[in-house]
Amino acid sequence: MKTIVVGCGRVGAGLAFGLFEKGNRVTVIDQRAQSFTNLPASFRGRTIEANVLESEVLRRAGIAQADGLAAVTNSDAINAVVGYVASTVYHVPSVVARNYDPRWRSLQEAFGLQVVSSASWGAQRIEQLLHQPGLHAVLSTGSGEVEVYELVVEEAWHGRSLQELLPEEDGRAVALTRAGRASLPDRESRLESGDIVTVSATLEGVAALRRRLTASRES
């Protein structure tokens, strides 16, 4: 795949090198030559020192043949504009924009872009670690609005139904693992202590689940 990374700070450099290591043809654009020092010495992709908003820069980078573009500068406005141009003018199949300031996120989303907000996700993740120590997050989607967790069933829930543990409005049970074997549970499945339940839920759903687990420990 041919991928263009706009912005060569720590995020852009890490992304570009990760893509390169997986066999992608990577072109990195940044207006400061010094930024390319963030790339490991073993990076063998292409670098372009230029202002990405200037005419012809994206064409020089080969955007017409690109399979994906990631706009990951520290400017949300630039990320939004470059992402929009890549998506609507050049019809790049996969376009992702970094959100640096959460206040700009709605604008980027209004352009129809896939948005990754490290600030929002990071704050949510830290809050979870502080207040939800019994739940282990294994996957985050979007910018952290929906996550997948693993939960070890405690003795207090032995013999009770999955529906009691996780009402439908709070989330979905993705899998139930017992004695090393996973299955797709239904809501009437009976739990055994030591089961591992894989749950997909919003932040609100996880908070409700945490309250339910705390109440069962205290009862």
- The per-residue pLDDT for range 40-81, each reduced to its tens digit, is 999 999 999 999 999 899 999 999 999 999 999 999 999 999
Shared domain check, 23 and 97: yes
Q: What is the pLDDT of residue 180?
A: 86
In a shared domain, residues 114 and 6: yes
Model confidence at 127, pLDDT cuts 50, 70, 90, reads: low
- C-alpha R_g of the chain: 22
Contacts for 216 with CB less than 8 Å, ≥ 6 apart: 154, 156, 157
Same domain, 86 and 152: no
Q: Is 210 part of any domain? A: yes
Residues 115 and 65 in one domain: yes
Residues 20 and 65 in one domain: yes
Q: Which of 67, 87, 120 is a domain's end point?
A: 120
Give the total number of structural domains in the chain: 2
Do 115 and 145 belong to one domain?
no
Helix (H, G, I), strand (E, B) or coil at 136: strand
Pick from 34, 47, 3, 48: nearest CA to 21 = 3
Q: Which two tokens stand for residue 149?
A: 């967790």
* CATH of residue 57: 3.40.50.720
Q: Among 32, 26, 25, which Cα is nearest to 9's?
A: 32
Mean of pLDDT over the chain: 88
Q: Domain containing 71: what range? A: 2-120
Q: Are strands 2-6 and 68-71 parallel, antiparallel or unpaired?
A: parallel
Q: How does pLDDT run across 145-190, given as a tens digit for each residue?
A: 888 888 888 888 999 999 999 998 888 999 999 988 999 999 899 9
Q: What's the rounded mean pLDDT across residues 82-98?
A: 95
**Residues 112 and 153 both lie in one domain:** no
| Residues 85 and 137 placed together within one structural domain of the fold | no
The reply to whether 79 and 163 lie within a common domain is no
